[in-house]
Structure 1
Amino acid sequence: MTDSSFDATNPPSRELLNDCVHCGFCLPTCPTYQLWGEEMDSPRGRIYLMDLAERGEIELEGAFTEHIDACLGCMACVTSCPSGVQYDRLLEATRPQVERNVPRARSDRWFRNGIFALFPYRRRLRAAAVGGALYQKSRLPALAARVLPPRLRAAQALMPQVRLRSAFASLPRRVRAEGEPRRRVALLSGCVQDVFFHEVNTATQRVLAAEGCEVLTPRDQGCCGALGLHAGREPHARERAKHTIATFEKLPVDNIVVNVAGCGSSMKEYGHLLADDPEWTDRAEAFSAKVRDITELLAELEPRAERHRIDAKVAYHDACHLGHAQGIREQPRSVLRTIPGVDLVDLPDAEICCGSAGIYNMVNPEPAEELGERKARNVQAVSPELLVTANPGCLLQLRRYLDDVPMLHPVQLLDASIRGRRPTEDP
């Protein structure tokens, strides 16, 4: 019998591979299959490649890695599969195999390493924010857009508008509940979120307090490991997961609140990520059981704070790691419907990813651009006055293609309603 092409460290499970009956229900929801119509760029095609590699019939280098790298990891196929195939587990087992065993071209390796040398570190991000602010005020962006290679051009286009005051601001470590306390929660402030979307964190604290939650935000927290987990950098993800667990488990809280879809998805999977580590398995499972997306938690609470009217047509974009990975679809909508005057509309082809997908829109800029433009057309089709979505990556991706539609996190819109402010007004 031919040896497997995978190494012995957590390879894709034969049982999970056998679950796929290749029915094709995943094809209409797979972004890359929709773009190219190639069987090997569909979920069932990639599972077929994993099956061949597990049997030792193909190598990991070459076509196998190309097709795995092309996957966004959006998990729309998991939602659409009638057989319950756990493609998410298969992909999470396969990507680390590629990262460990397939040598990448020097430029590709440097680019990916550069991303992970910056994004998980708040201090480095703040230093980069200073340079970014100066860069955005110069004439260089327009010039660079014409001469940069595709990956760097995409990175520049995705750069958020830097506001140094927000980038260097600190969140209060404790915010008291307004009125009778209902819950005590801890907030993941994040890395990219806290530096470039700090206003989302402050809105989250205010809304939770207004709804009767005491909010603790530990200072010594850091990256949760989501970017690394989704990119196959398992050692990075495991190290970050352990640090996050150790930071939050000592807090006497009912829930750990997350306002980033990708982070919440990963944090709910810590038990699986650390399942082979006896010292951490039980701690990881106990931690994950407490994790709630902000809209998930708010949907569990009877609204207490008064909502002021906001007359606006609001489009809701399902972030993939909220809708597909966590199964949280109705909760954000029910929370937004508590705002008087909001006319909430869904997008056409809502199950198709916008092309953000962690670092995908930087390492695979061409398909990400096609998907971003497709999503932008679907947004324009419903003519919204506001667009809301629960993931910073989606916000950055869509802002690249929609400069005429204001965009917010759902909690920012709720915060504006509670405080009686215009939804596009800065705090």
Structure 2
Amino acid sequence: MPAFDAVDPPRRDLIDDCVHCGFCLPSCPTYVLWGEEMDSPRGRIHLMKQGVEGAPLSDAMVQHFDACLGCLACVTACPSGVRYDRLIEATRSQVERQYPRPLRDRLFRALIFQLFPYPRRLRALRGPLRLYQRTGLSRLIARPLARVAPRLAAMESLAPPLGPMHRLPERVPAHGTRRATVGLLAGCVQSVFFSPVNAATARVLAAEGCEVVTGQGCCGALSLHVGRTEEARRFARGVVDTFTGVDYVVANVAGCGSSMKEYADLLHDDPAYAERAAELAAKTRDVSELLAELGPVAPRHPLPITVAYHDACHLSHGQGIRRQPRALLRGIPGLDLREIAESDICCGSAGVYNLLQPEPARELGERKARNVLATGAELLVTANPGCLMQIRAALERTGNRVALAHVVEVLDASIRGLPPSALA
């Protein structure tokens, strides 16, 4: 059987845009790790071309597609404007439909996607997980689990330390003159494991004159990232239905914002949703993007702390947002902002990549951790919960500790006049 069926295969015209110049190679994390041509963007595009021309979907071909993080650094690096993002997305959707994965792989993927996109199920897990963390069982379980089930061990090691959960009200009024009405995506993993980030986001937006309407649920980014396209469309329709009558829709997760900005493409052939999806995509903003557009009105108090900023891939490469979060951080009196070497190389999180491909993810995480430590910063700041979990776990493996925070948590601390210790 040919590798691809007739339902949205990788487009031949996009494949032919690649001139195999090699500018993508230094930006590709898997090529940097292994130096293998088929684990570079142009190598994978060559495999896509073979599939479009009728070659079968071999185990080796799927292995190379699976090894891609989907970080989109190659899209930024490409001088020919090759849309590798669209190519790998279409390819993964084909693989998900066409390729018979081993039972163990199918079961693990089912576990991920029956759990992570559903906040209620994640909330049910919080209590046992918090007890597990407090009792110190992880110190007894981690090593034998890594030998028997490395993917489950990766999942266990990435779980963030759990404190009290912050529940957002349905509506948060603007402080002073209302400048905009904003829909805030609370998300799935974000709302359960990173609820303080959501609370800080709502406070900062309100302080900057935004009335905030919160909306719960998954945006479909995790599903879309691995080719579960129909599932992603179902979640996307839920988000479109949730946010009506707002000026902007705000995401504080890089992967979510990147996917929501692509809803027009995702739902283009759905007559009931195509137009509304395009409207939502057009008014979707990352929180740092919107704050930069509006400009500051809330006073910033001094925050004397040294910060290293990590570019989340789906913010920098997926959305082209690099300047705005740095400008927001530099606008805080007393804050010293430092850059991280190899800032364009992914930390290895990449949606659920660090669960499905734990070994290369581990290598990339530790590479990023070393570069973070080299800055000498007291605090690592980024815009994606997956990056926070990945880098925290890598730092712990190296025996080091650096405080970690989301951009909005730093802004919130400055606006509220909190000390640096509040971010530790």
Provide TM-score, normalisation by structure 2.
0.96
Alignment deviations for residues 248-290 of structure 1 (CA, whole Å, 9 cap, x no partner) = 1x2x211001100000000000001111222221111001001
Hey, what does 1:187 align to over in structure 2? 184
- Look up the equivalent residue of 1:238 and give its one-letter code: R
Hey, what does 1:92 align to over in structure 2? 89
Cα distance in 1, alignment partners of residues 420 and 187 from structure 2: 23
Contact 1:258 1:294 in 2 (8 A): yes
Cα distance in 2, alignment partners of residues 423 and 271 from structure 1: 41
- Look up the equivalent residue of 1:264 and give its one-letter code: G
Hey, what does 1:120 align to over in structure 2? 117
Of stretches 395-404 and 92-101 in structure 1, the one that deviates more from structure 2 is 395-404
Hey, what does 2:157 align to over in structure 1? 157
Cα RMSD (Å) of the superposition? 1.3
Alignment deviations for residues 287-329 of structure 1 (CA, whole Å, 9 cap, x no partner) = 1001000000000122111101011111000000000000000
State the Cα distance separating 1:61 from its structure 2 match.
3.0
- Of the three residues 358, 362, 366, the one matched with 2:359 is 366
Hey, what does 1:409 align to over in structure 2? 406
Hey, what does 2:60 align to over in structure 1? 63
State the Cα distance separating 1:4 from its structure 2 match.
4.5
Cα distance in 2, alignment partners of residues 423 and 236 from structure 1: 41
Cα distance in 2, alignment partners of residues 426 and 79 from structure 1: 32
Kindly indicate whether residue 261 of structure 2 is the aligned counterpart of residue 268 of structure 1.
yes
Hey, what does 2:203 align to over in structure 1? 206
Give the 3-state SS of the residue equivalent to 1:309 in structure 2.
coil
* Structure 2 unaligned regions, length at least 5: none
Cα distance in 1, alignment partners of residues 20 and 6 from structure 2: 26
Residues 21-420 of structure 1 mapped to structure 2, 5 A cutoff: 21-57=19-55, 59-148=56-145, 149-163=149-163, 165-166=164-165, 169-218=166-215, 221-248=216-243, 250=244, 252-403=245-396, 404-420=401-417
Of stretches 233-242 and 399-408 in structure 1, the one that deviates more from structure 2 is 399-408
- Look up the equivalent residue of 1:175 and give its one-letter code: V
State the Cα distance separating 1:401 from its structure 2 match.
1.9
Give the 3-state SS of the residue equivalent to 1:217 in structure 2.
strand
- Look up the equivalent residue of 2:229 and give its one-letter code: E
Cα distance in 2, alignment partners of residues 128 and 35 from structure 1: 35
Provide TM-score, normalisation by structure 1.
0.96
Contact 2:220 2:233 in 1 (8 A): yes
Contact 1:43 1:87 in 2 (8 A): yes
State the Cα distance separating 1:337 from its structure 2 match.
1.1
Hey, what does 1:18 align to over in structure 2? 16
- Look up the equivalent residue of 2:121 and give its one-letter code: R
Cα distance in 2, alignment partners of residues 354 and 206 from structure 1: 29
State the Cα distance separating 1:137 from its structure 2 match.
2.4
Cα distance in 2, alignment partners of residues 231 and 346 from structure 1: 31
Contact 1:406 1:424 in 2 (8 A): no
State the Cα distance separating 1:5 from its structure 2 match.
2.5
State the Cα distance separating 1:216 from its structure 2 match.
0.9
Cα distance in 2, alignment partners of residues 253 and 54 from structure 1: 42
Give the 3-state SS of the residue equivalent to 1:172 in structure 2.
coil
Contact 1:356 1:394 in 2 (8 A): yes
Is the alpha carbon distance of 1:424 and 1:242 closer, same or farther for their aligned partners in structure 2, counting shifts above 3 Å? farther
Contact 1:412 1:423 in 2 (8 A): no
- Of the three residues 416, 422, 425, the one matched with 2:419 is 422
Contact 2:305 2:378 in 1 (8 A): yes
Cα distance in 2, alignment partners of residues 93 and 171 from structure 1: 36
State the Cα distance separating 1:134 from its structure 2 match.
1.7
Give the 3-state SS of the residue equivalent to 1:256 in structure 2.
strand
Give the 3-state SS of the residue equivalent to 2:160 in structure 1.
coil
Is the alpha carbon distance of 1:426 and 1:320 closer, same or farther for their aligned partners in structure 2, counting shifts above 3 Å? closer
Cα distance in 1, alignment partners of residues 256 and 207 from structure 2: 24
Cα distance in 2, alignment partners of residues 124 and 56 from structure 1: 42
Contact 2:404 2:423 in 1 (8 A): no
Cα distance in 2, alignment partners of residues 56 and 401 from structure 1: 42
Cα distance in 1, alignment partners of residues 321 and 390 from structure 2: 21
Contact 2:2 2:57 in 1 (8 A): no
State the Cα distance separating 1:424 from its structure 2 match.
4.2
Cα distance in 2, alignment partners of residues 424 and 105 from structure 1: 48
Alignment deviations for residues 55-108 of structure 1 (CA, whole Å, 9 cap, x no partner) = 013x21311100000000000000000000000000110001001010111111
- Look up the equivalent residue of 2:315 and give its one-letter code: L
Cα distance in 2, alignment partners of residues 13 and 136 from structure 1: 47
- Identity rate, percent: 61
Contact 1:211 1:305 in 2 (8 A): yes
Contact 2:31 2:39 in 1 (8 A): yes
Contact 2:305 2:420 in 1 (8 A): no
Cα distance in 2, alignment partners of residues 259 and 279 from structure 1: 27
Cα distance in 2, alignment partners of residues 273 and 382 from structure 1: 40
